[in-house]
A and B are shown apart, each in its own frame.
Chain A
């Protein structure tokens, strides 16, 4: 598996996409830091970019990568390597490559700006951690979709739909439900519902860390009120880890019974 990881990463490190992704974060972060001069404000601005963009890139590149490496996977599967190792290796290779682009793109400008050692070091690390976790979650979801659907058009469509649902539609739906059932005590239901959306979880995780109650929103406030800051962060973090592992097991399960 480690060998597959190495070669997937090596292949991707020469791909045009990895550099575009890296450059995007590098330029955005540098420009924002240069314009505002306040790392805290920049982090808040970057938060939404991280919450929307890392899932989108993760799920799109993941789907694309899976479909593109289809025939090559066939060649690898004819070698004396376990099926699950081939795909776990490819998944980790892609995640590693995306993570590295993200880390360098966001990390380098902040490093030059001297965020480390300042009051905001932990806030920054939290933002990075969330970005990395979201990359892992959505790349795994991409692998689930792409391994399940042979038809590329269907696969891409569904991948976009998954992203759209979790990034945009989910919040809208929650809002509508809250309006409809406003006369009922909804706190616990909302608390549970948040656990089913990795993007919401990430948002709350960062909001709790940055302590910006104005941006916390209803779900975040409920989270804070019920669990408190430390416990809330712990629960959100564990739920996110579960969000990484379950789709990974999911696609490995699909792969085991798949024909190539």
Chain B
């Protein structure tokens, strides 16, 4: 569905991506993992056109990303930090995004799921962090999209909301949507993800099915497998597996 070829990006002197090649398979949940500063968010933002790559090519459905941004009709994006205009009310924000996309959406079930009814008339500046994240989640899922890009989707969510979010993700996947997400919560990855992309220092260290990653390192637990990769990379004694394409 998405193909990235030879992607390079630096912010000032900091070279964040050093030649990323990958393919995101359709209809699956792909988790982008890696330590802080490994370039996860930069990869996601490059696909969205928020970050302008220095070099490389990204194609969506076989077409290069176009500047008009029309392909984003097919994408729902959940950013890491959720901030909105202070003076808008929650209801107005939902109406606004529908208006901007010129698409109608029935959000009542989403609002009910995330228990947001009491906040619909409140101004966005008065909301707590967790409630903002719920608003953010509804904004992402209010349209039926081919692709959802979730950057740390569980940050600030309470356990009930987290369960609702997981249900939402599996439901949409069953309807054929593709997911690309980053998270530091390994249990979430194990529960949801089909594919893993492991980024380390701006390069792809592993790209393939979740199960293969575990068996490759002889660990039943993903967290330990990841720790193994980091350890072996740290002392440099073990040769890392070359990127494989799904």
Which residues does A use to contact B, with CB under 8 Å?
3-4, 7, 10-12, 14-15, 68-72, 74-83, 257-260
Contacts and interface: CB of A to CB of B under 8 A. Distances in A.
Nearest to B9: A259
B84 A75 contact: yes
A104 to B, nearest CB: 19
Contacts of A82: 67-69
A70 B88 CA distance: 16
B101 interface: yes
Nearest to B85: A11
A71 B87 contact: no
A89 B136 CA distance: 22
B81 A78 contact: no
Given A11-B87, A11-B88, A72-B85, A78 B100 contact: no
A78 B79 contact: yes
19 contacts: A3-B99, A3-B100, A7-B96, A11-B86, A71-B84, A72-B83, A72-B85, A78-B50, A78-B72, A78-B77, A79-B72, A81-B69, A81-B100, A82-B68, A82-B69, A259-B45, A259-B52, A260-B45, A260-B50
B75 interface: yes
A24 B91 CA distance: 33
Contacts of B77: 78
Nearest to A76: B100
Helix, strand, loop or mixed for chain A's interface? Answer: helix
B97 interface: yes
Nearest to B79: A74
Contacts of A79: 69, 72, 97, 100-101
B73 interface: yes
A81 B77 CA distance: 14
Contact of B52 (A74, A75, A76, A258): A258
Given A4-B100, A79-B69, A259-B45, 9 more contacts: A7-B96, A71-B81, A71-B82, A72-B84, A77-B69, A78-B50, A79-B101, A81-B69, A259-B51
Interface string B118-150: 000000000000000000000100000000000
B19 interface: no
Contact of B75 (A70, A78, A81, A260): A78
